[in-house]
Each structure stands twice: as structure tokens, then as C-alpha cells.
Structure 1
Amino acid sequence: MTIKASKAVVYAAARQDLKSFVRFSFQLVHPEAEFADNFHIDALCYQLDRVRSGDTRRLAINLPPRTLKSFIVSIAWPAFMLGHNPSKRFFVISHNEQLAAEHSSLFRKLIDNPAIKQVFPTLKPTASKNTELIYTTSKLGGRTGLSSGTGLTGMGADVIIFDDPISAQDAASQKTCDQVAKWMKTSAMTRFNDLATGPVICVMQRLSIWDPHAQLTENGNWTKLVLPARAITKTTVQVGVESYHTWQQGALLHPARLPQHVLDEQKHSLGLHGYQAQFMQAPLPAGGGLIDVTKFKVYSSFPRKHPDLYLVSIDPAGGGTYAKSYSVILVFAVFDGHLYLWARWRKRVEFNDLKSQTIAIISKYRPQDVIIESASSGKPLLEEVHHFLQTRRRIDSECTTLLHPFTPNMSKEARWDEASLLVSEGRLHIPNSNRYAWVREFTEECRAFPEGSNDDQVDALSQALLGYRRIYDRAGESRVHLLSRRG
């Protein structure tokens, strides 16, 4: 009696709770292996529950290899969903038919287990014979395994899952990445039975700066669950409706499955670029990685309430056509010679909008110093800000803001080499990425420099660090004359 009652409790839990079903399913498919629980599994199940409830329709998941991401997303979750609604139709798309067949085989091993019938009595296969890649329920729902590039004419799905839609070898080619991403967007994602409500999940380890994840999520409202093998900063990870896991900076993601010696072996085997992509979820472009972002200090609060001063660095869009490239404004709070990046503004705008934003930021922060690149399109902005400060001083005797034109006289790489001294000394601090969504984008651009698709934020950062050094750090030199001051 005790055993039967215990089984009944286990079946009920597996029926009602995805995490319990994942554990239950793993033990059915891998009876000889131990289920190594971890917070990332809770986070993954939480996000999948949000897809099920309709809270999100676009979910991108980046996790290192050997973290059960495919088992959970492509095998256990479709089985769980079909158990609750046997009429649902799933596409699970992998980079080749062999991988699609492997996942389909594990799904069939799970779904055909007699214990699953105890959890979901109404989940039954169709009377017709299923194939290696296709499982159809008696309610005409089911799971279809596919490979990228497959013709989909006449086919439809309620849910589409992309699970490693491109191989590591193919991801090295931007042309191939473009082709796969185009097929995903223009072919696969048009096959929803309901285009207005159909959810799509992309689960993969990062492979390159132009891989399908990058191209799929560059537009649209995507929920992203990105967990590297080691925490880059202190991070709060949501693992339930009102539950969170605090992941300390430097802590391993899953010590039981990815201990330090395994990560060291993978780094040696894959090299820096491969390791950064597949295990740290931060791919570098060829030739990138000049900036070591691990040397950026991360802060959650200022050392004290009031900084010694504010410094603003502005990199106007180049080429004189503001609407076609980004302009960037960075605001730093300075405490005892340490620069805390406090705010960032980045946008493609026309000149008048840039001028208005610049004046608004100066008025808000009342910075001691404003540094503006004086090349081409920065020159008219310098004139406008110069006029604004002159007018303001006539009505506000406490206005002490000084304007500094910055003329680049060396390459971007050389500028960073000189500016990086403050970083190596531990004097650059950036906000925790949990606080501001833009911090991850800022960090990724720095990581990709000098081969990233954009470097406007890096230019503004280099300018700020160089400007601060020239204004304040050179002993015996007057602050007034170091940057051709204009006020």
C-alpha cells in the first residue's frame, strides 16, 4: 500500500509541475544516471511555464553544453505539454537530421514508457504507424523532428522549437548563418497554425557573433535566459513566480556537471574564441577581444550619496548623417578617482534631437566636464553646447561646467590602449546588468571590439577615460589647458 501511495504522489506531482516532470522523465530515460539538480533547471522550467501560460511568445535560451537544455526543452517539455493537451503540434528543428532523429528517439523512449500513461492517461498515440521523426497522438497533435532547411509546404505547428539549428562548423561562416537565419524567419516561423499566438523557442549554445540566436533576437520582443558557465557579475536569476536565485560573481553555473577542471579542459581544447562562445555565451569576432571586460568592476550602489563630480562623454554620429549611425552619451559619477558609469543614451537621431538630449543631460546632472568628439559631426554640437553654457552662466553663477573638444589623433585601438590604464587599475565601474538592460549590450560591444558591428560606445568610453586622465591625472598640469577647454 505504501508503495502504491508513493507512486500516486509522484505521478500527481509529475502531472502538475514541470520541474517534477523533468526529474521524473530523466529517471525514465536515463535510469542509470543521477539527476543533478541545479538552479538553472528551475530558471529554465519557469520560463517554459511562462511560454505555456502565454506570458511570453519568444524565448531565447543560451546555456553551455551538458546542462540538459535539449532534454528539458525538446524532449520533456513537449511530452508534458502533450500530456495536458494531446492536440498540440510541435516542430522541433535541429541542424541536421541525425540530431533530429536522436532527439526524436529519446522523446519516443519517454512517451512510450508505461509510467507516462500513469501520469497522463489520455495521452495515446494515433492508430496509424508513426515514423522515426514523427509522433502523432490520437487527438492529431504530436511532435515532428526536422532539420534546418527542410521544405515545410503544407505543414503547420502550434509551437516551434529551434534546438541547435546550426552546427559549430557552419556557424563559422557568416553566409551560412545568414542562410539558416533567413530560413528560420521566412520559412519555419511562417508555419504556425495561428501566427498571432504561436510561440517560438530558440535554445542553443552561442557559436558566433552572427549565429541564428543573434539574428533572430535582434528585433522583436524576446525573453532571454542567458547563463554562462561562470557568473560574469553578481546576477539575480528568476527561478519561480516569486522566487529568485542570487548568483555570485565568479561562481560556477553547475559545479556538479561543469566543475572548474572540466571548464579548463574545454578552454584548452576549444581555444579562447570557442570557449567564450559555447561556454560563456559571449562570442568574439575574429580579431576581437582587445578589451578585457572581466577587468570592469561591477557595482550595485555608489560608495556614498554624492560624487566628487559628474563627467559626460559624447560621441556624435560620424559622417555627418546622424540618422544613419548611432550617437552615444555616457554619464560618469566620479568618486576618489574612480569612474562609475551611471547612465547611457544611444540612438540614431537627427542633429536637433541630439542637441536637445545633450542639453537635457547637462541640465540634469550639472557635470563638471563635458567631452565631445570634435571630428566632423561633433563640431556643430560643440558650438551649440558652447552657446548654451555661455547663456546659462549669465543666469546661474553656480554653473561651472567646462566643455572639452576631443580630437582623435590616433587609431581606435591605440586610443583604447592608452585609455585602458584606468581599467587595469580597477578604476572603471559599470552597473550590475540586472539593474539596467543596456549594460549587457554595452559590455558585449566592448568585448567584440575592434571587430564588432558597432564601436560607438567604445569610442565614448575611450574618450571619457582618456579625457579624465588628461584633465585630472597628470600631476602639475593645469586642468584648464589639457583639452583645449571651451566654456
Structure 2
Amino acid sequence: MKSLCASVAWPAWILGNQPTARIIVASYSRLLSEKHSLDTRCIMQSSWYRELFPEVGLSKDQNTKYKFQTVQRGYRIATSVGGTLTGEGGDFIIVDDPLSPAQALSETFRKRATNWFDQTLVARLNNRKKGVIVLVMHRLHQEDLTGHLLSKPKNIWNHTCLPMISENKEIIYSIKKPAPPFLVPVTRVTTNEYKSWITASSARMTPPVILYSREEGQLLYPLDGGKEEVEMIKVELGSYAFAAQYQQNPLPLSSGIIKREWLKRYRNFSDSLSYVTQSWDTAVSTSSMSNFSVCTTWTKVGNKFYLLDVYRAKLEYPKLKEQVLSLAARWTPHAILIEAKTSGQQLVQELKTNSDLPIIEIVPHDDKLTRFYQIVPIIESGKVFLLHQAVWLNDFEYEILMFPETRHDDQVDSTVQYLQWVRDSSSRVAALRAL
């Protein structure tokens, strides 16, 4: 909805009222930005829009998904974060979702976005006194672009924050008319805050128009499932992602993302396990600085995941293959997951050719930290169970509780690989059932 309002409808409205206006709209993806541009152009070519703004027409000389122009020489340009804007300027610059959730976890992508904003985009404003820059996004990280702008001196930016669940009584006032010099124009304040910036000399003034208000705990928009649906969203996303994307209040990242109390315990399992999966994270060196090869063995009961065993050692390739065969003979897994990286490719090829083991080659698509955050909600919801006592338990707990600050993370990689695979498998089954 925010993109529809800010990137699609608003540019059409601006050009309808100011056909000479020059607008730049940017997003994290060039493809997404161009889609929004096409949607705006579709509105402006509609019969109802032409009836509403009969004097506004699109130029035939400049009418592409990247840039279209009015006959009055106003335009809308679509670009992406990091894109070049040489020779182009804007009276209105709109930045809509400069980072994807996955990119926000990367310091490299965050710095790329803030550097591009500070060093390239701001310089494209045609008139720094009269021009407008609008950033619209849901929060993703404390150091995302919103966090970067809020760290600057106060009163440079007007900040409107709309959490899904109101954390106090909220009142949003209109600032359409310039405020007197002794008032600071703000767009979101509580009743007490509003009182604090009305001075004694302005006590008789007519207060700004209230555009929107809601009580503490009230949802921003109604959901069919009410607050129960909100709780379901929170469980699915995890507390970190929910606090950022829905409450607009990203939590600080500590060295330990997983909390000990999230990991549940079990004492034993019967010998007849219905479905066993092994997840391998492989390495092929025994040097002191090399990684371990790790195999975690799991079973699934309902929507709960039980870690049965952890094997962890530094092995050269021939021994690694022998160990895969040995652990497979011990547990009789229904699936053996092996990541298709350098150390795993030869293993996958040989086992598929020379054995009847149920080998599944895994090709990861995101960086390690992003993949980890994708499975955090599963652990946070209490669905992962560890043995009450095991020789491998202390090392496993230390690594997963301290990630990403640990020296080794092979047990984490193996665990993430399994939980991602079983989650994606469940999604595929659900999709097939819906057909």
C-alpha cells in the first residue's frame, strides 16, 4: 500500500497538478522501480485521469518505463539504489524501500545505500530550498537508511512513524501551513508531546488539524483475524523481524541472536524413527585453521524438529566419504543434504554414482547471515529440541548461541541447511495441495 501511494499514485497526482514537475523515484531494485513507473504511466493514460487533468498529456518523444515526460516537459524517472542520475534533476525525489530485508542484514548493502543517498541522490535535487525528498520504507535494521537520517541533527527531517500496534496514544497533525517560529513542526506526537511544544504565548492559537489518531494498542489497520493474526505474524517472522518491519523499531543485534530458552529439551526417542534427515556441511582440510565437516541428524514429529546426533571432525576427502557412508548406515536416513560447494561437489557426484543413498544437493541463494535469520522464527517458536544429555551438546549450544561471533559456524550451517530445507519442502507440499 505504501508503494502504491508514494511511488505510483502520488507522482501521477503531482504531474496532474504540476505538469512541469520533475520527479525521481528510486527503489532497491531497478525492476521494481520500473514496475512502479509503468503503473504511474498506466494511471496517467486512463480515461478518468485524462478527464480529471485534460491539459496533461504524455510526450511521444520520451515515453519509456525508465523515463516518461509530459508535453509540458515534466517527467518521472525510475532508478535503483546505486543507479546513475548524471544530468538528471528532480523537484521531488522519492526513495521507496531502498533495501530489501535480505540486503539490510549486510553492512555492505547498508553502506552502499547511505553513501548513494548522501553523495549522489541529494545532489540531484533541483532546488535545495524548495525541493522535496521523501523516504518511505518499513524499518529493517538500526543502521538502515531511516536510522542513518534520524542520526542527523534534529529538525532536518520530518519523521512519520506508523507501527502496526500503537505503543502509546498517537495523534498526527497537519503541517500544511507553516508553523510559527516558536513551534517545531512535527508529524507524529502524543498528547503530552503536543502540549510540550505549545508555549505560553501560543496558548490561544488554534491547534493544527488532527489528521489521524488512535489509542494505545490499536492496530494501524483492521485484520480479519484481529490480534490473533498479529501474533501469528510475529511467530512466523520472529521477534527481530516483527519489531523492525511491523513496529518500525529494529532491535539491536547482540552477539547472541538465539536465546537459550528457545531451545527445548527431550530425553530419548524410540529406536523406530519414522523419518530421519542428515545435513552435511563439508570441508576437506585437517589444518588448524580449517573448518570442520559437520553432520547433524534430525527427525521431525508434527511441526517439531529433534536433533538426534552431531558429528564434527576435520577430515581429508577419502575419510569424509567414508564417514558419510558410516553415518548413513547407522541412521538409515530418508534424505542426506549436502551443500553444493567445492568440498561437497565431488562428494555428491561420487555418492550419486556409486551408492543408492538419498542424496539431495543443496544450492544456497543468500549469504550465511541472511539464511540464519530466515530460520530464527522456527527456533524462537520452540520447535527445535536438543537431547537432554549428549557429548556434542555443549559445543553445539555454544556455537548456535554465540553465532555470528564464533570462530567456527559449521554446526550452525548444517542446522540452518536442514531447517531451511524442511521449511521449503513443507511450503511446496502446501502449494501442491492447494492446486
Q: TM-score, normalised on structure 2?
A: 0.49
Q: TM-score, normalised on structure 1?
A: 0.44
